[in-house]
Amino acid sequence: MNRKYTVAIAGATGAVGAEMLKVLEERNFPVASLKLLASARSAGKKIKFCGEDVTVEELRHDSFNGVDIALFSAGGSLSKEFRDSVVSSGTLMIDNSSAFRMDDDVPLIIPEVNAHDMKKHKGVIANPNCSTIIMLIAVAPLHRKFEIRRIVASTYQAASGAGAKGMEELISQSRAVLDGETAVPSVFVHPIAFNLIPQIDTFLDNGYTREEMKMVYESRKILGCQELMVSCTCVRVPVVRAHSIALNLEFETGASPDMVREVLAESQGVEIVDDPSAHKYPMPLDASDKVNIFAGRIRQDISLPDSKGIDMFISGDQVIKGAALNTVQIAELALSSEQ
């Protein structure tokens, strides 16, 4: 990339916005100028980027004049409100919310999985749900090789999935409980310290939550497989950062654990951590602040005949790969297609 670009980050003061800044700097993204956008109460705050102070501006409808790419992590309602203003300015909008993910004219992109869908965009590209990204980084190469017919996923989602306030609530509640005080929930519907909450987002009529159905619908769209059977149970756990997922995969053809490891070892974005005898397997503590998804506990599903099932466990930092890094990678792909 020889040219440099004007980049805006909407939601720059949030946890994902801060990580986007870090990723842009670490990957030497060709930034000519940077606009940091947030609410009026954050306007005037200064944030460092490449050693320079950048002043946060209020997010307004005229904020995108002269902007090449806008990375949005400001919430679905604001994404919907500002979409027309962004696109009419000739700015490419890469959105981290769920606002447009299932729109037919909006590509839903994981660069390692379906970069070919990028060309369908009409000014907006969507970043998938963080758990969907973490899951499909490991699942997509196996689907290409063995054709997955059914996925059963149980997620162990960190407090950081609810942003900076979620992490703060877990830490403050943990201190309170250890001091013999009562943990009072604010961000979550129940205390998160020393607890598990089998609800993420609201419940739907079918008994699943919106988070669970996001993983169903998004997986089908990204893999281009509407008949794929997916069932999820999403659980919030008292972990500060990095999501984990227990996966049961049913294939059309037989696949041994060694065959699965061989495929994953050659897959971009995956790191195999799978030596149970040495107590080595994916854990959120190890996956935190890492760009790769860790995969392990790979074993044959003994309940299915003909070696057509595999169980495995994965962990990944959803703030990085599940949000900020994936968004920046989409931007990099968009720019490379212009060269």
Catalytically active residues are: 130, 243
51: tokens are 């050693």
| Antiparallel, parallel or unpaired: β 46-49 and 31-38 | unpaired
| Antiparallel, parallel or unpaired: β 243-251 and 148-157 | antiparallel
- Tell me how far apart the alpha carbons of residues 170 and 159 are, in angstroms, rounded to a whole number: 7
Encoded amino acid at 253, one letter: T
80: tokens are 């919907």
* Residue 72 DSSP one-character state: E
Q: Hey, is 140 helix, strand or coil?
A: helix
Tokens 């790979």 locate to 298
* Residue 166 DSSP one-character state: H
Are the C-beta atoms of 332 and 325 separated by less than 8 Å? Answer: no
Are the C-beta atoms of 231 and 217 separated by less than 8 Å? Answer: no
Alpha-carbon 133 to chain mean position: 5
The per-residue DSSP string of 207-245 comes to S-BHHHHHHHHHHHHHHT-TT-EEEEEEEE-S-SS-EEE
- Tell me how far apart the alpha carbons of residues 59 and 63 are, in angstroms, rounded to a whole number: 6
- Which residues 6+ apart lie within 8 Å of 143 measured at CB? 223, 225
Which neighbouring-strand residues pair with 244?
A: 156, 315
